[in-house]
Chains A and B, each alone.
Chain A
Amino acid sequence: MKTLKTEYLIIGNSAAGVACIEGIRKVDKTGSIAVISDENIFNYSRPLISYFLAGKVKKRAMPFRDKKFYSRNNVKLVLGNTAEKLDTKKRIAYLSHGEKVVFNKLLIATGGSPIIPEIKGSRLDGVFAFTKFGDAVAIKDYIKKHYIKHAVVIGGGLIGLKAVEALIELGIKVSIVELADRILSTTFDTKASGIIQDALRKAGCNIFTKNTVAEILSKGEDKKVTSVTLKTRKQVPADLVITAIGVSPNIQLVKNTSISINRGILVDEAMQTNVKDIYAAGDVCEKNIPIWPNAFKQGRIAGENMASGNAEYTGSIAMNSVELCGIPTISIGKTSLEQDKYEILEMRKKEESIYKKIVLENNHIVGCIFVGDIERAGIYTGLIINRVDISNIKDKLLEEDFGVLALPEKYRKHLVGDVGLEV
């Protein structure tokens, strides 16, 4: 059995894994680093797969760090290999190809796996998940080989809708099936969802809400998908089906070890698990909000701490930015609460598909939605993260020229303190 010895072992090579390399190297320039990835591509950005499917981004533009990144940081990259077993006492990871890796510090950044709905017919040809580069390649191949006129996307969340957008781009007629009463129900309120739904319908999509796919069907003995039957017994044509109902943490590796898990891996503020020197970051963690910036930040903090740094993860708020049908949208924090304890500020320009909403709780912003006009949205993110009292600027928050000048003086000074701005 081949044995590899390394100071740092990182399992997973997406946002958290790569950020961890950067975090380690910030503190420790020389300690040996090995990265294990079950995929066969040296690096790529997962959120770009919808752009790849649509043909907007070529394969060579998929990496978010170049090839030299690994050699420059003196990282041994092991591709197409899975960590299958973990001995937390002896600090050994056993790989699927028979090798073992002896490590001193470990980061588990194995991400999440798509939840495949248990529907009859979900194993038919032409039914795909949509989270990895391999999925996008397989879908592309399938579209090339077969005449695809209709597609059904199960799940109207972010991943599902980015798939929808790519399929529209390819000239395919798409039907979206969503369990909730509207698409993007976890990040948007009804008005924001409505604007995007209208735009999708205008682009030729069918949207079925409060509905599910009961069965995926093929014709006769053929294994190729041809249609789906909805819960409401409606038959919808489908030469291609993409399932995007969510992801769950990839915790296979740590099951039956001493590492504490619930739905995901439990970590402290340093991103360390209950086992000393074993860290976890990104979508594999419990209660993580699965978005790129969070995974990246957690990975970097874990890396710094693995290299005896002293970084702390102070938590994060749900936020997302996505452009659909040419309409940019950003949602931050709590967005669709209608209870009395929240105060809502709103602005709507119907003809331009512009909608802005700010949710206030005790004179603090706790959530925002921006549709159609996202300029300077980050200022609001800053106000939420820094828990700034906005009582004195409440009336200015939705003004056209709202900016740094309008911010409370104390916060403005805090914001610009070290960066050379005397305002």
Chain B
Amino acid sequence: MKRIRIDEKYCMGCRLCEVHCIVQHSKTKNILKTYMGEYPKPAPRILVEEKGYITFALQCRHCEDAPCLDACMTGAMYRDKETGAVLCNEDKCVGCWMCIMVCPFGVISRSSDKKIASKCDLCMGEDIPVCVKNCPNEALKYEDSKD
């Protein structure tokens, strides 16, 4: 199973991953239209944490033992059989925020319209997640995980 690997020492904090994540999850997938024409403005599903010179980008870890899967009362949160990714069926989610309550990484957030949970979907359909593809310094890598 492929996972995104984060290498803090190479992260420059440029936040390009956030930008590309927003565009990828926008309606138009066009960077100009995303920023100027979409309301509510889509939120990134990756988060750059920063303190002085230490920065890293963090997104859903698609945990093997994912607490959000146990906590989801609607069945919206599920594990994709093929990729093993933890995904949120946005039609089923009602925004009870149980997943936000239990995620130890704090990587599930409310969507920009505050109605459903928003999280990394490993850019399903793409060969490589856009955050990895567009990271200029290989601080994010897409690699086979141990399991």
Contacts and interface: CB of A to CB of B under 8 A. Distances in A.
Contact of B97 (A300, A321, A401, A405): A321
B100 A330 contact: yes
A63 B76 CA distance: 10
B15 interface: no
Contacts of B71: 292-293, 296
Interface residues of B, number: 47
A222 to B, nearest CB: 37
B7 interface: yes
B70 A375 contact: no
A406 B98 contact: no
Contact of A420 (B70, B106, B109, B145): B145
Contacts of A376: 100, 106, 109
Interface string A19-57: 100000000000000000000000001111001000011
A55 B8 CA distance: 46
Count class of interface residues, chain A: 35 or more
Contact of B73 (A47, A66, A403): A47
A422 B98 CA distance: 27
A55 to B, nearest CB: 12
Contacts of B4: 420
A401 B56 CA distance: 13
Nearest to A69: B75
A301 B64 CA distance: 15
A401 B106 CA distance: 12
B43 to A, nearest CB: 11
Interface stretch (A192-200, A209-217, A338-346, A411-419): A411-419
Given A297-B70, A405-B51, A292 B6 contact: no
A404 B3 contact: no
B128 interface: no
A137 interface: no
A362 B103 CA distance: 24
Interface in A264-321: 292-293, 296-297, 300, 319-321
B61 interface: yes
A378 B102 contact: yes
A141 B108 CA distance: 37
B111 to A, nearest CB: 12
A374 interface: yes
Interface string A347-378: 00000000000000000000000000011111
B106 to A, nearest CB: 3
A114 interface: no
Given A323-B96, A378-B100, 20 more contacts: A51-B94, A64-B72, A64-B73, A64-B74, A64-B75, A292-B98, A296-B70, A321-B100, A323-B97, A328-B110, A330-B101, A374-B101, A385-B104, A403-B49, A403-B106, A404-B106, A420-B5, A421-B5, A421-B6, A422-B6
17 contacts: A46-B73, A47-B73, A48-B94, A56-B94, A57-B94, A61-B91, A64-B73, A319-B102, A321-B97, A323-B95, A375-B110, A378-B108, A382-B104, A385-B104, A405-B54, A419-B62, A420-B6
